[in-house]
Amino acid sequence: LAQVPVAVSVKNDVSLRSSVFKSNNVSFHETSRASRLSMDFRATSFKSRSQPVVCMSVQQASKSKVAVSPLSLEDAKDPPLHLFKNKEPYEGTIVSVERLVGPQAPGETCHIVIDHGGKVPYWEGQSYGIIPPGENPKKPGNPHNVRLYSIASTRYGDSFDGKTASFCVRRAVYYDPETGKEDPSKKGVCSNFLCDSKPGDKVQITGPSGKIMLLPEDDPKATHIMIATGTGVAPFRGYLRRMFMEDVPTFKFNGLAWLFLGVANKDSLLYDDEFSKYLQDYPDNFRFDRALSREQKNRNGGKMYVQDKIEEYSDEVFKLLDNGAHIYFCGLKGMMPGIQDTLKKVAEQRGENWEEKLSQLKKNKQWHVEVY
């Protein structure tokens, strides 16, 4: 969990994730939301950044929820899947790319907004495929392979009009272990393309894909426990915006959303202002626990990883699972063994068999995992 990626999920690329976010003065129904709803959201959040990063959409989060359109996006009974294939991708346009992390964060993570013109609709928890420009070095004459990124926005996008999708991408770079110098020839092709892109640049999109991380909405009073490392927070940002920011007539969330986020340090926190605002406005419906591996110690004096934070609240977590809570995991593949070991240890301490419990959670469709 030490050097986790940030915001959009890039699953099958060396390019972890970067999340860039730049919606300058977003207008909705011809009304400027940036000026109307701007406020200081950092009252309860960490303050270590020398230059605090504030995404414009954060400034649109207010106690009075934001209207969204078109509401016809709520009509579909099933999630949209594979509307655009690898051989015939949709050409989207980069709206903005913004650095999400502070100066002391290891690596760079960006929030990236892409305009899909309403032609590539998706549901919260799904992914887009991105085909970076250029030739595949392993298959001369052919395009690069598709890289998957979890979408970090709701179906209405950061401008609330159903025409954009956001990614949280960590720029993947490689340092030679002997020289300690960066080797550009081994950098992540897609993550660097996205993080280096400029407004107006074109991007090849496939998808959407994925059903594992879809947010179950049949019970508005349900409990959702979300566990993320770095950019694995992407789908959860979409969930939380839908729950607490948007005015969706057909979905009035009144349950509990509990987010555990593991990153290296305060400067690495993603969307912290946004989440802190929900904590302020919806204290009965949202909980937020941060695990900062390079700044916090666990109960044994070691580094604080997300599984240590879960262990702190293990009794509550297990009771919520017993009562039907959904639990989600998203982030680096390496996060799961430590989390599984912790959950197994806690189960044994409670006199339970973890394998049997896990099997039951999967059978009940309470267990959702997407790692890369």
Annotated binding site for NADP(+): 150, 170, 231, 293-294, 303, 331-332, 370
Angle at 279 between CA 276 and CA 280, to 5 degrees: 90
Q: Catalytic annotation on 150? A: yes
The DSSP 8-state label assigned to residue 73 in this structure reads G
Please pick, among 98, 274, 295, 370, the residue that the annotation labels catalytic. Answer: 370
Enclosing H/E stretch for 308: helix 306-312
Active site (annotated) includes residue 90: no
Give the contacts of 177 (CB within 8 A, at least 6 positions apart). Answer: none
Indicate which residue of 149, 156, 271, 282 is catalytic.
149
Q: Which residue in the list 23, 57, 96, 150 is annotated as catalytic?
A: 150
Q: Can you give the C-alpha Rg of the chain in angstroms?
A: 20
- What are phi and psi for residue 68, nearest 5 degrees? -130, 160
Q: Based on the residue annotation, tell me whether 135 is a catalytic residue of this protein.
A: no
335-349 helix and 354-363 helix, angle to the nearest 10 degrees: 110
Write down the catalytic residue from 55, 110, 190, 330.
Answer: 330
CA distance 201 to 198: 6
Residue type at 23 in one-letter notation: S
Q: Is 370 a catalytic residue?
A: yes
Of the candidates 203, 194, 268, the residue with the CA atom closest to the CA atom of residue 230: 268
Output the known binding site: 150, 170, 231, 293-294, 303, 331-332, 370
Which amino acids are annotated catalytic?
149-150, 330, 370, 372
